[in-house]
Amino acid sequence: MAESPVTLETLRQLAALAGLPFGDAELAELVPQAAALLAELHRLEALDLAAVEPALRFACLPGEGDGG
């Protein structure tokens, strides 16, 4: 498995961008959790959902959005 792109430095930069006052000790605890979350997101992105119907569909009401 490839090395995770989630590092202490990555989280440090993200925290700074978000204005969150996390220290290195707190961020170090978050590295494995953030890496696991990123891995799960990659796993979900790889799913073939072409044949899956959307859970919710929107349709215009008669007279709305149909120009009449």
Q: What is the pLDDT of residues 8-42, one digit of tens each?
A: 999 999 999 999 999 999 999 999 999 999 999 99
pLDDT (0 to 100) of residue 67: 58
pLDDT at 66 over 60: no
pLDDT (0 to 100) of residue 64: 63
Q: Is the overall model pTM greater than 0.75, yes or no?
A: no
- Is 18 inside any structural domain? yes
67 vs 63: CA distance, rounded Å? 7
Cβ contacts of 32-35, under 8 Å, gap ≥ 24: 34/6, 35/4, 35/6
pLDDT at 46 over 60: yes
pLDDT (0 to 100) of residue 43: 95
- Is 29 inside any structural domain? yes
- Is 20 inside any structural domain? yes
- Is 61 inside any structural domain? no
Spatial neighbors of 21 by CB under 8 A, at least 6 apart, are 15
Could you tell me the two tokens for 46? 């790889």
- Is 58 inside any structural domain? no
- Is 26 inside any structural domain? yes
